[in-house]
Amino acid sequence: PHNDYFSTQFLLNFSILGTHLVSVEASVVDTSGIEWKTGPKTTVSVKSLEDPYSQQLRHQLQQQQQQQQQSGPQPGPPRNICPR
Going from the C-alpha of 59 to that of each of 62, 63, 70, 74, the distances in angstroms are 5, 6, 16, 23
Per-residue pLDDT of the chain (84 residues; tens, 9 = 90+): 566 777 888 888 888 889 999 999 988 899 999 999 988 899 999 998 888 888 889 899 999 999 888 886 666 666 767 666
Euclidean distance between CA atoms 48 and 15, whole angstroms: 9
Euclidean distance between CA atoms 61 and 73, whole angstroms: 18
Q: How does pLDDT run across 16-36, given as a tens digit for each residue?
A: 889 999 999 988 899 999 999
Euclidean distance between CA atoms 35 and 27, whole angstroms: 7
Which amino acid, 77?
P
- pLDDT score at 42: 92
